[in-house]
Chains A and B, each alone.
Chain A
Amino acid sequence: MRRLPIKTYVLLPIVVALATLLAAFVWEAHRDRQGRLDAAATRDLHSLQNLLMLQLEREAATMRVALVALMRDKRLQAAFEAADREAIAEQVQPLFERLHEEHGVTHFYFVAPDRECIVRVHKPEFYGDIIERITMRRAEETGEQVWGVELGPLGTCTLRVVMPWRTEKGLVGFVELGEEVESITEKIRKATGAHLVVVIRKEHIEREGWEQGMEMLGRDANWDQFPDVVLVGEIPRVAPPGFLRTLGDVLANPDASRTLLSENTRFRIDSFELHDMAERHIGYMVVLRDVTEEHEAARVSVVLTTGLSAGVGGALFVFFYLLLDRLQRKLGREFGERQKAEQKLREHRDQLEETVTLRTRHLRESNEELQREIVDRRKAEEEALKLRALLKSMTDSMPSVLVAVDRQANVTQWNQQAEKATGLSAEQVLGKPLAEVFPQLPNQSERVYKAISTGQTQTELKVPSQREGETRYADITVYPLSGPGIEGAVLRLDDITERVRIEEMMAQTEKMLSIGGLAAGMAHEINNPLGGILHGVQVIQKRLSPTISRNLEAAREAGADLQAIRAYLEQREILTFLTRIRESGERASKIVSNMLQFSRKSDAHLTPVDLAALIERAVELAASDYDLKKDYDFRQIKITREFAPDLPPVPAVETEIEQVVLNLLKNAAQAMQEIGGVKDRRISLRTGRVDEWAQIEIEDNGPGMSQEIRKRAFEPFFTTKGMGDGTGLGLSVSYTIVTTNHRGSMTVDSVPGAGTTFRIRLPLHRNAQ
């Protein structure tokens, strides 16, 4: 059980406060006493100073009275007038002795008007000298009585009174009385108990005179005792040891006072300035006073005050102590009871705490469980997100269109390729029916249903669809999805248009080659009957010619006129039919010879060919081409040429390439002819070097062709020309010449309505291929 330290808490500050208060009070009382003592001492000092002045005046007055009385003595007057030294001395000697004894007068002079000393009553053996003292001179000057303190040559201070002695005859001379200041201070000491000691400033006296004077007075003379002053008066007997040192301190700082303690006596030392009658500051009056009594009284007062205060303080302390003790006991009892109650409370609380801790632990455990579940779940979600992202990037990275659908054929997954193929984003299509978002591929929903219901992969190859006027092909596979909670299908769509095109191209090439092979075998057999036809027609035409004599002869022999026969034939258009037979035969022959081109091995000898010259020749051939001339004058087409000057000769079969170029020129002319309307008809011919290839470009501003036509341009037997206008082999033959025979490439660009550009590339180095 803890005790309440109330006592300490309360008493300690009280004690401190009381002690502080007491100390402050005592100190203040002491200070007050001291201050009063100082004030009283200062006051006393002033009184003493005034007393000295008063005493001086009184002494001077006494001497004046004595002198006035003296001057009434006619006998003495006569003696003075006669300057009878002995008579004067004899008459005044008793008076002087009385004055000396009763009043301490020590000097008595009779001085002639010219200040010559007639009688020195106190020292009769010295006379006849001239008195130079200030008092005397001033009395001479003013003719009035003069008095004052004067510093003598021996360093002593004397109160002097000089009075002129006048008769009806005039000035007889001067009488003077003097008293040593020390005699006056002695009187003051007797009256007040204060010792007065005279010190004189060295500047007003001479050392020799002073030492002489001191010797005369039987005192110790120490000129160097103080720096500026010398001691003239006698050191008081009561003066304590160290007086002289303290005196030095006082003289160094004349305004301050010093206290000197000696045994049981306390002295106070003060000073005030001393002036002679000429108002010269001749020295100081040092005052030594016994202040023991006053001091003791003050001390007693302080002690009494202190004692009283301490008593009251103690009583207060005791009172508080007892009061607090009782209070503490009472509080202690209550405190104990409360502690008991608190103890009980604490026990209850501990119990409660235990319960709470238990509950908290349970709560925490279930909380942690929950936290773990959250973490697991978050992980699972992250995993799911990751998986989804992985799935998406996987499906996006596939070159195929991948579309996942549910069992109702609604879209659930849509990859980037699908977006590209349809132009619809995943957000736009998710959840929508497949048929709605992929209308260009009908019947896919059925396929999906079938795949799901049978669990079998459904495949359909090379499904055509139309896009931007172009047929595209796709392989479509529908994979049924199976798994817990998963029902649906994945639709995979591979755009195989390019592959189909390549396949077609390859097929085309193969076709050409097989045509070539067939043609080679066929040509002989066809050419013979063709020869029969064509040669036959030519024989007929020849035999109908009127210019051949045999014909004329035969006609005549037959009894007919050749001219008439011809007229008949013309009328019946037989000659025209013959011509048509011949033309048809020629076309057939051309087809055969073109077909033979496909089979031709590149055994023709490659020679360096100047492409620019070759093109020029082709242009000339085009201009003179009979077939072309029929329909269109090639010379009306503006031909522009941009031939690279630095193009080296190209290894080629000159006639073949020439045929290709000519073919293209003819095609261009025919195409422009076809639409008719083009005014500014133009063919641009360009050569250039692209890496290791020589390139020929033939560009026209004709009608151009659609994508569909462009793609089939090189196909054998494909033609856009009217029936009978083309063999459908021109471009495919050219293509074969360039690609197979020369291992070059041939492409065509076309913008419908703007023109067509054919581009032929031939390798510059054969071995590079």
Chain B
Amino acid sequence: MTTPLRVLIVDDEETLRTHLAAYLEDSDFDVTAVASGEAALNALAEGTFDIGIIDIRLPDIDGNGLVLRCHEICPSMRFLVHTASASYKPPDALAACGVRQEHVMVKPILDLDTLVQAIHRIA
């Protein structure tokens, strides 16, 4: 049995966050779920993550900014943007971190297995 992928979920919406975390845990990921950008950075200070699932609209830091910061701290980390905004397009700065349109997941994700597959694709 291989080491499970470490996933960091950043979402201020508790229900979403816990549901997502529960699903991913059941899908055999090592999940850490936080409610803000600051908490995310703290989590990164304590350990590394393979995958970041980042909400764009966060109470403290802009999701895009958070992705860039996480990337700075942990360059091997890959990201999926999880947003409620259907018109979201990743800015060019994020493209440098490997975040493209296909890495944008719009809420609600009708089939969470697609998220699992997306994680596996980028990991």
Minimum Cβ distance to chain B for residue A13 (Å): 140
- Given A531-B16, A535-B16; A596-B86 close (CB under 8 Å): yes
Minimum Cβ distance to chain B for residue A37 (Å): 163
Q: Determine if A534 and B109 form an interchain contact, defined as CB atoms under 8 angstroms apart.
A: yes
CA distance A534 to B110 in the complex (A): 7
* Range class of the A interface residue count: 20 to 34
Residues on B with C-beta less than 8 A from A585 are 108, 110
CA distance A526 to B108 in the complex (A): 9
Minimum Cβ distance to chain B for residue A108 (Å): 195
**Any chain A CB within 8 A of the CB of B42?**
no
**Any chain B CB within 8 A of the CB of A600?**
yes
Residues on B with C-beta less than 8 A from A539 are 19, 22-23, 26, 112
**Any chain A CB within 8 A of the CB of B85?**
yes
Q: Determine if A532 and B109 form an interchain contact, defined as CB atoms under 8 angstroms apart.
A: no
**Any chain B CB within 8 A of the CB of A538?**
yes
- Given A527-B106, A531-B107, A586-B110; A536-B26 close (CB under 8 Å): no
Residues on B with C-beta less than 8 A from A526 are 84
Q: Determine if A600 and B87 form an interchain contact, defined as CB atoms under 8 angstroms apart.
A: yes
A window 554-610: CB within 8 A of B:
585-586, 589, 592-593, 596, 599-600
Q: Determine if A523 and B85 form an interchain contact, defined as CB atoms under 8 angstroms apart.
A: yes
Q: Determine if B108 and A524 form an interchain contact, defined as CB atoms under 8 angstroms apart.
A: no
Interface string of A264-306 (1 = CB under 8 A from B): 0000000000000000000000000000000000000000000
CA distance A420 to B42 in the complex (A): 81
Binding-face segment, A137-145, A353-361, A542-550, A629-637: A542-550
**Beta-carbon nearest neighbor of B82 in chain A:** A531
Residues on A with C-beta less than 8 A from B13 are 528, 531-532
Residues on B with C-beta less than 8 A from A529 are 15
**Any chain A CB within 8 A of the CB of B20?**
yes
**Beta-carbon nearest neighbor of A538 in chain B:** B112
Question: Number of B interface residues, CB 8 Å?
Answer: 21
Residues on B with C-beta less than 8 A from A599 are 87
**Any chain B CB within 8 A of the CB of A221?**
no
Minimum Cβ distance to chain A for residue B54 (Å): 14
Minimum Cβ distance to chain B for residue A541 (Å): 9
Q: Determine if B85 and A530 form an interchain contact, defined as CB atoms under 8 angstroms apart.
A: no
Q: Determine if B87 and A596 form an interchain contact, defined as CB atoms under 8 angstroms apart.
A: yes
**Any chain A CB within 8 A of the CB of B46?**
no
- Given A520-B87, A524-B57, A600-B87; A536-B107 close (CB under 8 Å): no
Q: Determine if B108 and A533 form an interchain contact, defined as CB atoms under 8 angstroms apart.
A: yes
Interface string of B94-113 (1 = CB under 8 A from A): 00000000000011111110
CA distance A427 to B106 in the complex (A): 70
Minimum Cβ distance to chain B for residue A447 (Å): 53
Prevailing SS type, chain B contact patch? loop
Prevailing SS type, chain A contact patch? helix
Minimum Cβ distance to chain A for residue B95 (Å): 16
Minimum Cβ distance to chain A for residue B115 (Å): 9
B window 1-38: CB within 8 A of A:
13, 15-16, 19-20, 22-23, 26-27
CA distance A600 to B85 in the complex (A): 12
- Given A535-B109, A539-B26, A550-B26; A528-B84 close (CB under 8 Å): yes
Q: Determine if B86 and A536 form an interchain contact, defined as CB atoms under 8 angstroms apart.
A: no
CA distance A548 to B57 in the complex (A): 33
CA distance A539 to B86 in the complex (A): 23
CA distance A525 to B85 in the complex (A): 9
Q: Determine if B109 and A523 form an interchain contact, defined as CB atoms under 8 angstroms apart.
A: no
CA distance A592 to B87 in the complex (A): 12
- Given A538-B112, A542-B26, A589-B110; A532-B19 close (CB under 8 Å): yes
Q: Determine if A530 and B107 form an interchain contact, defined as CB atoms under 8 angstroms apart.
A: yes
Minimum Cβ distance to chain B for residue A527 (Å): 4
Residues on A with C-beta less than 8 A from B20 are 535
Q: Determine if B84 and A524 form an interchain contact, defined as CB atoms under 8 angstroms apart.
A: yes
CA distance A66 to B20 in the complex (A): 215
Q: Determine if A528 and B26 form an interchain contact, defined as CB atoms under 8 angstroms apart.
A: no
Residues on B with C-beta less than 8 A from A527 are 84, 86, 106-108
CA distance A624 to B22 in the complex (A): 32
Q: Determine if A524 and B26 form an interchain contact, defined as CB atoms under 8 angstroms apart.
A: no
Which of B20, B27, B57 lies at the interface centre, i.e. has the most chain A CB atoms within 10 A of its CB? B20
Minimum Cβ distance to chain B for residue A681 (Å): 31
Minimum Cβ distance to chain B for residue A436 (Å): 60
Q: Determine if A538 and B23 form an interchain contact, defined as CB atoms under 8 angstroms apart.
A: yes
CA distance A543 to B57 in the complex (A): 29
Partner of B26, one of A531, A548, A596: A548
Which of B16, B57, B107, B108 lies at the interface centre, i.e. has the most chain A CB atoms within 10 A of its CB? B108
Minimum Cβ distance to chain B for residue A567 (Å): 21
A window 360-413: CB within 8 A of B:
none
**Beta-carbon nearest neighbor of B89 in chain A:** A603
**Beta-carbon nearest neighbor of A585 in chain B:** B108
Residues on A with C-beta less than 8 A from B106 are 527, 593
A window 477-495: CB within 8 A of B:
none
Minimum Cβ distance to chain A for residue B41 (Å): 23
Q: Determine if A532 and B15 form an interchain contact, defined as CB atoms under 8 angstroms apart.
A: yes
Minimum Cβ distance to chain B for residue A235 (Å): 173
CA distance A599 to B13 in the complex (A): 25
Q: Determine if A535 and B19 form an interchain contact, defined as CB atoms under 8 angstroms apart.
A: yes
Minimum Cβ distance to chain B for residue A583 (Å): 10
Partner of A543, one of B16, B22, B85, B109: B22
Minimum Cβ distance to chain A for residue B85 (Å): 6
CA distance A534 to B106 in the complex (A): 13
Q: Determine if B15 and A536 form an interchain contact, defined as CB atoms under 8 angstroms apart.
A: yes
Q: Determine if A531 and B108 form an interchain contact, defined as CB atoms under 8 angstroms apart.
A: yes
**Beta-carbon nearest neighbor of A600 in chain B:** B87
Minimum Cβ distance to chain B for residue A538 (Å): 5
Q: Which residues of A contact B (CB under 8 A)?
A: 520, 523-536, 538-539, 542-543, 548, 550-551, 585-586, 589, 592-593, 596, 599-600
Closest 4 CB pairs of A and B: A531-B108, A527-B84, A535-B19, A532-B15
Q: A531-B13, A539-B22, A543-B26 are in contact. List 12 more A-B contacts (CB 8 A).
A: A524-B85, A527-B106, A527-B107, A527-B108, A528-B16, A534-B108, A535-B20, A536-B15, A542-B23, A586-B110, A589-B108, A596-B87
- 19 A-B residue pairs with Cβ-Cβ distance under 8 Å, sorted by A, are A524-B84, A526-B84, A527-B107, A527-B108, A528-B84, A528-B107, A530-B107, A530-B108, A531-B107, A532-B15, A532-B16, A533-B108, A535-B15, A535-B112, A539-B22, A542-B112, A585-B110, A592-B86, A599-B87
